[in-house]
Amino acid sequence: MTSYAIEVKNLRKEFEIKKRNGFFKRNKKKEVFIAVDDISFQVKKGEIFGFLGPNGAGKTTTIKMISTLLRPTSGTAIINGINCVERPMEVLKILGTVLTGERSIYWKLTGRENLEYFAAMNGITGRKAQVKIDYLLTRFNLDKRADETVEKYSTGMKQRVALAKALIADPEILILDEPTSGLDPQSTLNLRELILEIKEEGRTILLTTHYMEEADQLSDRIAIIDHGKIIAMDTPCNLKKGLNKTNIIVLELKDWNSSTEERIKGIPMVENITSRFDDIAQRWEVKIHMVNGNDSINDLITNIISTNNKIINFRVEEPTLEDVFISLTGKSLRE
């Protein structure tokens, strides 16, 4: 019996790029977009494995191949020893999925009716179905509005119905694709707590996200993916330890321009610079990665002041998973 819930080996997915008229000219090589580029990873039974990366990095495409919705161009995905391509129906029996960007529940049905429908689809009927549905509605705090149509629910409630639906057949493995995307802070917190509870039941969870704090908080291990390739994989703690010689310096500035940026880049210890404008505070936040930055902070401040820029605030932060991503790619997850 395999000790891995999910084994992905050299998985690749290409999509053909159509010409404007929808056809390719004869004798010309077809152009392809590589969404997932020869990735491999293993998910241990009972762990939460985080798939962290920006939108468009290849996370959802990978999830769809694992859950049998897309056929790989090459490579394999094995779920509890079962090949996803060769035996898809067997794979679906042990998977529960919540996919982003797709309406996986029926809005014209009530929350209860949705669960009754999906229970029947999984061969769960009668008293057994009602007991399970009542339990899930109560557990996910949906019982008081269970008989209202889903279209009247908040986004957070709809996501809880989708999660309840994914658990209706008591799957061993749960795949959650951006589960908190679009939720308000309180709904996000509640859903993350539910995900940790589900893990405590002994289930394996594959979680995709572009939220650093979510991956950090929930994941036992993380794979960071960008442009279809896995660029790092380890525990959140070990990934951040890889930056232990790097100081993360955050400056709040009145102005920011290319001249100031070039001056800072000229400091030998500076590795990466990212910046964003805070519309509410009307100031720039500039994050600078410096190797052994304590020795170069004076140079940094001197160069900024020399451009007649005003430093509103200055702080040194502990590395985050976004800092790991910046270190690896030179850009932030938001870009």
Residue 49's CB is within 10 A of a number of other CB atoms, namely 22
Q: Pairing relation of β-strands 270-278 and 95-98? A: unpaired
Q: pLDDT at position 238, please?
A: 94
Q: Which helix (H) or strand (E) holds 240?
A: helix 236-241
Residue 291's CB is within 10 A of a number of other CB atoms, namely 14
Q: What is the pLDDT of residues 97-147, one digit of tens each?
A: 998 765 789 999 999 999 999 999 999 999 999 999 999 999 999 999 999
Q: Give, in words, the CATH class of 245-318.
A: alpha beta
Q: How many Å apart are CA 222 and CA 48, to the nearest integer?
A: 9
Q: pLDDT at position 111, please?
A: 96
274 is written with which tokens? Answer: 């990212």
Q: pLDDT at position 29, please?
A: 66
In CATH terms, the fold of domain 4-235 is Rossmann fold (3.40.50)
Residue spans in the chain of domains classed CATH 3.30.70.260: 245-318
pTM of the full structure:
0.85
For residue 148, pLDDT beyond 90: yes
Q: pLDDT at position 96, please?
A: 94
Residue spans in the chain of domains classed CATH 3.40.50.300: 4-235
Which residue has better confidence, 251 or 18? 251
Q: What are the backbone angles phi and psi of residue 225, rounded to the nearest 5°? A: -120, 140
The CA angle 176-180-184, to the nearest 5 degrees, is 165
Query: Would you say 203 and 172 are in contact if contact means Cβ atoms under 8 Å apart?
Result: yes
